[in-house]
Amino acid sequence: MNNQHTLRIFDEDLNSLRQEILALSNHVSEQLHLALTALVENDAVLAEQVITSDFIADTLQAKINTHTTRTLARQQAMADDLRAILAASRIAIHLERIGDYAKNTAKRSRHLSQPISAELAEQFQWMGKRIQSMLAQVTESYIHHNAPLANVAWADDAELDRVYVNLFQHLLRTMSQEIRNIADGTQLLFIAKGLERAGDHVTDIAEEVYLMITGLPLQGPRPKVSEHS
Amino acid sequence: MTQKISHDQKVTLTPSTSSPTTNTERESRAAEVRKLSFWYGETQALKEITLSIAKRKVTALIGPSGCGKSTLLRSFNRMHDLYPGNRYSGEICLFPENHNLIDLDPFMVRLRIGMVFQKPNPFPKSIFENVAAGLRIQGIQNKKLLSDRVEQALRDAALWEEVKDRLSQSAYGLSGGQQQRLCIARALAPQPEILLLDEPTSALDPIATAKVEDLITEIRHRFTVIIVTHNMQQAARISDFTAYMHLGKLIEFAPTGELFTTPQETLTRDYITGRFG
């Protein structure tokens, strides 16, 4: 956006929406970080904090939903303004779902019978950091209308999928070796799948942002390394 | 070719020689504007406008005040001929004949192209006689035929049910919205090839506006409609194609759904999103 609307309240509405998306994105990114910290440090108190904080994401998403509906009704937006409002509504849904996966990670971490190995911790933390990094990219892309950056985040999902597939196979091997590993292994499989899905939601956001900025869909099949992902 | 307007101009029926058009293209178009320029005296109001008017579709002309959209619309029925010093260059070709209407007798043009204005302007006559006026000019005298055509036009204009029991009463007794629909019925009665609407709802309340918009969407399958409107939401709601004009130039012309969601030109985007240009 390089110039302002004649009706200044419209600019204020759109700026508010951007700030609300930024707040929701920062919140779910932090939730993800805390959930994975709770997992690798076997910290039940921190896990509980993540679970009880999930309502903030729900509240922010509902607020954005109301805001976008009111803006559509009041401003009768056109062109890139219309795309920006629709994108905000859809991005908020994806962010809220990422928050749900963070909560789910925290919930499952409480059911583990023992701390996870350093090797697993490293892989889970890598996935979490990759999602946070992708989320930061798509959020910056959204705020600053940077379409190439959305494209970068979109392509980064392939690496996340690769690590997920490795983790999945590692957990399967662990469970097949010892029957007592199955309970914890199953919880960790769900956590890993949740993180992989969170990455997919960031990819969805990247597509929304690209469409919002350019008016065109991102071309080509999504980057995937395996049918397992 | 620049052409001065002459009030005793001869009727010319030679087909246009420029931009040869295939039969299929002619079938899908009602008219085509080709490099049309127009001057009010020394002031150039239109600058080499070229666009196609799709047959039995609604084409909206939008743009800020002074952009030339009403000037373009009025060129279609030779309204500018009423004032001395005005001149055109370029062509507005009517299909299927491919005749340049600027070369035709204005009287003949207006029998083929109807027009409705911003404010309702019924004649000081009965409702029936208002609608029958154009038919009488066409030479229709048979009472049954006149009556049938008046009823059909009033039905097309979604006014029949409201006036069928008072056709002999003065048109001035109708509300503003009804008067405007009466004017549309009057324009539709001679079965024009193209109906021109110059901000037809700007003087109407929202309900009357909705009725006019509804009738436009009803008649679009039988008539070609060109509408000038300042109301972008109206253009978005009812038109199939939209042309955005600025300072006498055609900036962008596209299917309405595309122009209002993904305009290709910055000027169009700034206008439809309400930004400073």
| Percent share of chain A, pLDDT over 90 | 81
CATH topology of domain A2-214: Methane Monooxygenase Hydroxylase; Chain G, domain 1 (1.20.58)
**Model confidence pLDDT, tens digit, residues B44-54:** 999 999 999 99
Task: Check: CB of residue B271 under 8 Å from CB of residue B246.
Answer: yes
The answer for B 5-34 residues in CB contact with A (under 8 A) is: none
Distance in angstroms (rounded) separating the CA atoms of residues B257 and A78: 10
Which positions in chain A have a beta carbon within 8 angstroms of at least one beta carbon in chain B?
A: 3-7, 10, 76-83, 215-216
| Alpha-carbon radius of gyration of chain A | 19
Whether cis (ω within 30° of 0) applies to the bond prior to B96 is yes
Task: Quote the pTM value.
Answer: 0.81
The model's pLDDT over A62-105, given as tens digits with 9 standing for 90+, comes to: 999 999 999 988 888 999 999 999 999 999 999 999 999 999 99
Report the chain B residue with the minimal C-alpha distance to residue A214. Answer: B262
CB proximity B244 to A under 8 Å: no
User: Do B270 and A3 make contact, defined as CB atoms within 8 angstroms?
Assistant: yes
What is the CA angle B29-B31-B33, rounded to 5? 125
Best mutation target among A4, A78, A83 (most B Cβ atoms within 10 Å) is A78
Q: Where are the domains of chain A?
A: 2-214
Q: Verify whether the Cβ–Cβ distance B232 to A78 is below 8 Å.
A: yes
Q: Between the CA of residue B67 and those of B17, B72, B86, B121, B188, what are the distances in Å?
A: 29, 10, 17, 25, 28
Site of tokens 């062109």: A79
pLDDT tens per residue, range B53-111: 999 999 999 999 999 999 999 999 988 888 888 999 999 999 988 889 988 888 888 88
Q: Tell me the per-residue pLDDT of A26-40, one tens digit each, with 9 for 90 and over.
A: 999 999 999 999 999
Please state, in angstroms and rounded to a whole number, the distance separating the CA atoms of residues A182 and A172. Answer: 9
Distance of alpha carbon A191 from alpha carbon A124, whole angstroms: 9
Phi, psi of B198 (to 5 degrees): -100, 95
CA distance B136 to chain A (A): 45
CA distance B232 to chain A (A): 9
A82–B275 C-beta distance less than 8 A: no
Task: Tokens for B138, please give them.
Answer: 């066409």
Mean pLDDT of A225-229: 55
Q: Do A5 and B273 touch (CB under 8 A)?
A: yes
Model ipTM? 0.72
Residue type, B128: F
3-state DSSP percent of chain B in helix, strand and coil, to 5: 40, 25, 35
